[in-house]
Structure 1
Amino acid sequence: MTDTKRAALSDTIYTPAELAELWGVTTDTIRKEISKGKLKAFSVGKLKRVLSTEVSNYEGS
């Protein structure tokens, strides 16, 4: 297993709703940032999920 995969396994995984609540915005705002490619996410079926490392990257930009 690569270091990247290990890191991903230990990351917290957020839903758009959880991030919206944390950041005080709507879920639509989170989805738009994902669609624009500004916030990287992955899909679980039709559902989007965001790793905490991607949240940190987004907040740092």
Structure 2
Amino acid sequence: MKFREFHTRGLENVRIEHNLVCTAHNLRVMWGKLGGSVTTLCNIKGLVANFAFRVSSI
């Protein structure tokens, strides 16, 4: 991933953008380690969605 600069302004927006880049990187690493197993990634998707909902409600 060729991430060079933030495209948003403001501390909160930059933090969100950074978290998205980190999440994308981690998903890419997981995809490589799982060998592209779609069923496993579907289970992980549910966990991530649940976690994101809990974080956004704080």
TM-score w.r.t. the length of structure 2 is 0.34
Bigger relative contact order, structure 1 or 2, given CA contacts below 8 A and separation 6+? 1
Bigger fraction of residues in helix:
2
TM-score w.r.t. the length of structure 1 is 0.33
